[in-house]
Amino acid sequence: MADGPRPTSASRAKPGPLRVCALYPDLMNIYADRGNLLFLERRCRWRGIGFELTASGLGEQLDGERHELFYIGGGQDRDQRLCAEDLIANKRTGLHGAAERDAVVLGVCGGYQLLGHSYTLGEEEIEGVALLDVRTVRSDERRLIGNVAIEVSLGGDGDLAEPRVLAGFENHGGRTHLGAGQAPLGRVLKGHGNDGSSGTEGARRANTMGTYLHGPLLPKNAWFADWLIARALRIDPGELAPLDDRLEQATHASARRAAGL
């Protein structure tokens, strides 16, 4: 990502600002989660769209009305425990309210697991906020690690009418199982996905999404970052000023190649 003067079109009306809330950025951040947030910020700034980043940590009540996009990143099991308790106590109501009014909620890896009903480790069951109808069970078998590529169909016009590829890296011990009516985020093309066998990856319900792809998800998939920005701002992705994305396209191509696609 160059620091560039990026917009190739400066004449459009500016939407925004995009107000992002990062949940537990000090605890849930093990795989380039800060980079994902920085990438959102840069893509807004290059277009002259205002961007505000707020952190919400342990013990802080979440106001679901104050942000358009909520982000929760990856974490170690022990940090997930701490955050899960706090999510239930201080943030569940706010997050549900945000999801109901169609704010974007994105959980990556450990964050994804906590958006579901539960994360079970042996005898212990960590309760999640149940925004997604998924349950995760920690497996004693090998971790699911490696480069991964999935096909996602987001719907919409133009470029997004066709299925698109998200490429990234996964590293999780948990196996995530989707409830009967729960749509995945995508279909595994290469890699393991939710549980290594179902062929599904992540989960999506309207603007609430979870995925195991990190490492880092958004810089490797600039089109997806833009889609999230547009959803959060309630505009069509085509309304975002185009940027000079040569570096981002090369990054995406390299992530796909790494996954063997």
3-state secondary structure the chain: CCCCCCECCCCCCCCCCEEEEEECCCCCCCCCHHHHHHHHHHHHHCCCCCEEEEEECCCCCCCCCCCCEEEECCCCHHHHHHHHHHHHHHHHHHHHHHHHCCCEEEEECHHHHHHCCEEEECCEEEECCCCCCEEEEECCCCCEEEEEEEEECCCCCHHHHCCEEEEEEEEECEEEEECCCCECCEEEEECCCCCCCCCEECEEECCEEEECCECCHHHHCHHHHHHHHHHHHCCCHHHCCCECCHHHHHHHHHHHHHCCC
**Quick one: 19 or 81, whose CB is closer to ligand GLN?**
81
**Number of CB atoms found within 10 A of residue 173's CB:** 16
Strands 144-152 and 164-172: antiparallel
**Quick one: 3 or 141, whose CB is closer to ligand GLN?**
141
- Catalytic pick among 67, 172, 192, 214: 214
| CB of 239 vs ligand GLN, minimal distance in Å | 33
Which residues contribute to the site for ligand GLN (CB under 6 A)? Answer: 30-31, 74-77, 80, 109-110, 171-174
**Quick one: 75 or 186, whose CB is closer to ligand GLN?**
75
| CB of 214 vs ligand GLN, minimal distance in Å | 7
257 Cβ contact list (under 8 Å, min separation 6): none
| CB of 110 vs ligand GLN, minimal distance in Å | 3
| CB of 89 vs ligand GLN, minimal distance in Å | 20
In the block, tokens 């004449």 appear at 11
**Quick one: 37 or 44, whose CB is closer to ligand GLN?**
37
41 Cβ contact list (under 8 Å, min separation 6): 20, 51, 53
| CB of 221 vs ligand GLN, minimal distance in Å | 18
- Catalytic pick among 44, 67, 109, 192: 109
**Quick one: 18 or 259, whose CB is closer to ligand GLN?**
259
Residue number, nearest CB to ligand GLN: 74
| CB of 216 vs ligand GLN, minimal distance in Å | 12
Active site residue 109: yes
Active-site residue list: 109, 214
